[in-house]
Structure 1
Amino acid sequence: MINFNGNIAQEDSNILTQNRAFLYGDGIFETVKIINGKILFLEDHYFRLMASMRVVRMMIPMNFTMEYFEEQILNLVKEQGISSSARARITVFRNDGGLYLPKTNEISFLIKAAALENTSYTVNTNEYEVDLYKDFYVTKQLLSSLKTTNKMIHITGSIYAHENDLANCLLLNDSKNVVEALQGNIFMVTGKKLITPPVSEGALNGIMRKQILALAKKVEGIEISEEIISPFDLQKADEIFLTNVIMGIQPITKYRKKKFKTNLAHLLVQKLNESISEN
């Protein structure tokens, strides 16, 4: 079941035959988490989507308000009976027509949703080993910070991780610095300092990244910094974790021969759940 331009219908694969997101990667998307009939971090998701549409020169319809965005997602999960805990992806793409040069900048959207098990964030305590993915690099440009439908680096990196029995891989930019993981932003703890790469390094402008930076500022004794992380820095870290809206926080337990603590990750998950329950 999908929501296509506001109409809930059964999935139709034919909808993609001339789709520019399929043909050229001419699309952007947001993945949101719904808990008890509420979209978490709604404003952040909506405004990031609007900003991304402007960057790639898509025409924003007058009716595409935050209330409309919210209504369309919640209508779908309600129809599916999964409002208590779900994930939903809204993909916005330029309408059919043209080759590299589109015939129009008008857009359509498609929403797909699926149920989730938990109604709160938890910490996965299983072993989570990562390594660097060095076949391709993220470029330090504005497009790298957007969630576009061109994810070939993440796809090939995921295949590499699977082939090498890794839980995830860390991506490097064209300056050979660590910018993010295949499925989320990266944070590193060294002593009392919590570090994450700046968006200007090519990192995704992550919604959960923003939440964690705000929550960490309330933790006594922790200094927050957005700065470059080199592969060598990872070996000196006390703790490393990844973030995205669906999983929340995922501690990395092993990078090459180094094993890491998970103390701050557990504390921040607790604070994250508390902040959600208060809103």
Structure 2
Amino acid sequence: MRHFLLSLATLLAPLAAQAAPPQLLLQTATFRSLDQAQHKGGEVEIYVTVPVRPLTYRQRAPRSFQAAAVVDLSIVKADGQPAWQETVTLKPPVLTDTTVSIKNPLSFLKRVNLPDGTYTLRGKVRDQYKPANGETTVELPLTVAAPAGPAFSDVIFLSRPATKADGQSNFNRGGYLLTRAPGNYYGRGADNIFFYTELSQLPASRPVVLHYHVENAEGFAADADADPISPTVGRPTTVVGQLPLGPLPAGPFTLTVTARDAATKKVLATQSQQGTRSLTEYAPAGAALPR
């Protein structure tokens, strides 16, 4: 999962200058389409987080205030032609007192099916009630390509364990309800890294052993092995895991997931994801319901 973060500290700390432009955090994860017969190519998951603190709260009634952020999302092909676009208005809960210090960021999730190719995701956010504050634009490169052999999708960090879930929802995938960790950030009180990924094009009827490894730049490392899994015929195999944070120091870390053939021990695929841990600041809440 690739992501853009202006500054995670500004997601969590109060902002003194209300005239500052609104902020935008974009994260993406690319999967192979679960139904290749219907959707050739890949599926791009777009996770949007907008801090609420810089937004303007408008009074709606006595002791009733609400803010709103307008987010324009678009995906452009390599030749400049549009591939997809959507405008979303995010509104935080109504407040009776705008001086309260706890204002969780707003999150939005969208999945877009795209043919294999190279794209650019563009996100633009503005304050609906005070557009004079300006706008913030973020761009991320996207590549959708079929793997030549066994391969993991991008790894999604979760703020809490994936849970079995039926039905169709933006927050459901592979039979699980997934609650993202905004900014791949684990804050004060978090004891585990939770994650989700998918493994495609595995050899049929050959069990696979998964290994999890986390490390940081200072040399801290921890490892864990998961029970063997059997490939899912005709579709990607879901992988849901967790790893204790334990004595992992504050700061950036990298999680690496490796798949080996259970019989030959040959490495079939590997994928890494970067995250951040804080021992003092709480993490933003991850959305688990459509807004």
TM-score (norm 2): 0.28
Q: Which has the higher strand share?
A: 2
Q: Which has the higher helix share?
A: 1
Choose 1 or 2 for highest CA Rg: 2
